[in-house]
Structure 1
Amino acid sequence: MVLISFLKSMRGGAMVMNINEVMLNPTRMRIIQELAAQPTLTSTQLCQKINDVPRTTMYRYINLLLEHNLLTIVSEKKIRGSIERTLALNINEFQKLNTLENLSQNALGFLLEKYGRFHTYFTRPQPNPGQDRIFLNNTVLMLSDSEFNSFLSDLRDLLIRYQFETAQERKPRDISIISAPVYDMER
């Protein structure tokens, strides 16, 4: 079986990551989400917003996103001997990745990444999905295009309402939403 999203190749001794693998890491996705919500942020501001992740990890992930051209440096300022970078999403790169030709591969990468997390979770000692609130749900809704647009708007508002800053009692919750094609099996 070919696992497109999780194949890694060695090039010049360095590990090369597939773009799906880069983007679907939960912390890197949080960096992307923060920059989607606010057009520019400094590396320090990102570290403050995502303060449950060690700074060294944050800087490593920011550099990885820069290497893969998903982030761009808007400006640099020298502060006390170090350089503070102001970052933004590289919208042109995201537009190149979000094409009809790439959708099937993007979907596969997304689903394989989720499968990998579930596999890791359920093969660790004593998983407790009830306590950890781990679940799967699938619902088919009968909606007109107008009703579906309203549903998506409500869902977006709900997600925005619960987009809290990190705090001691809070932990990341990975909620994945897919709108998949529905085919009538009787045809």
Structure 2
Amino acid sequence: MTESKADLILHPVRLKIIQALIQGRKLTRQQLSALFPDIPQATMYRHLNKLEQAGLIVVVEQRKQRGAKEKWYAIGEHAESVPNEELTAMSAEEHMELFMKFVSGLIGDFGRYVAQDEYDMQRDGISMRQTTLYLSDDEYRELFEEIKASLMRRMDNGPAPDRRRRAFTNIVIPEPKRKQEESP
């Protein structure tokens, strides 16, 4: 059975690879391994191959490096999102399974953070907040675009001595729609 695009993207290792390549970045397996030292080399190769075979990433360049060909990967067209048709066709159970995969990736990231010998959540900027807002659909779209624009301005920041990679995750869950009261 072939995996859905959502299943391919939401695997924790593959999601990290895709996120690293967003915004037109081109990286080698070696550079990806340096970004994610907790991912074993064989695992990185396996997931790069799976993403490449699915067309979610593409080889944009190959260079000869110490006798071997080094591949440079980039994001494939429309790779970072799941088609709406695929999401609409899923059952509630399948949506819940995808959500649990997504959240398990967050749990893994947080587990690696707290597994350090020393850490300071306040200094490191760890934030777990939930804010409830009452917004119309238009107000929500406006807020989402503002947040997206703010993040996009920083997406091209590369590694630097004074920078750490930070996962900024947002999950928006509206309350269930209220059933209209029936007219007498």
Inter-partner Cα distance in structure 2 for 1:140 and 1:132: 25
Given that 2:61 and 2:73 are in contact with CA atoms closer than 8 Å, whether structure 1 keeps it comes out as no
Q: Structure 1: any 5+ residue segments left out of the alignment?
A: 1-17
CA spacing shift, 1:142–1:50, aligned 2, 3 Å: farther
Number of corresponding residues: 162
* CA deviations over 1:20-76 (Å, ceiling 9, x no partner): 663x34xx54531343311x73527x82x996556x967962542322536444456
2:68 is matched by which residue type in structure 1? S
Question: Residue 41 of structure 1 is aligned with which of 12, 26, 30?
Answer: 26
Q: Is 1:32 the equivalent of 2:18?
A: yes
How large is the Cα RMSD of the aligned pairs? Answer: 4.0
Query: Is 2:47 the counterpart of 1:64?
Result: yes
Check the 8 A contact 1:65/1:71 in 2, yes or no.
no
Q: Secondary structure at the match of 1:99?
A: helix
Q: 1:51 to 1:157 in 2, by over 3 A?
A: farther
Amino acid at match of 1:178: I
Following superposition, the deviation at residue 153 of structure 1 comes to 0.8
Alignment pair present for 1:158 and 2:150: yes
1:144 and 1:19 mapped to 2: Cα distance?
33
Q: Percent identity?
A: 20
Q: Which runs of 5+ in 2 are unaligned?
A: 1-6
Aligned counterpart for 1:79 among listed residues 56, 64, 76 = 64
Q: Distance in 1 between matches of 2:177 and 2:82?
A: 32
Match of 2:160 among 145, 155, 167: 167
Measured in 2, the distance between the counterparts of 1:60 and 1:158 equals 33
What is the CA-CA distance between 1:151 and the residue it aligns to? 0.7
Contact 1:43 1:59 in 2 (8 A): no
Describe the SS at the equivalent of 1:112. helix
Query: In structure 2, what is the equivalent of residue 89 of structure 1?
Result: 75
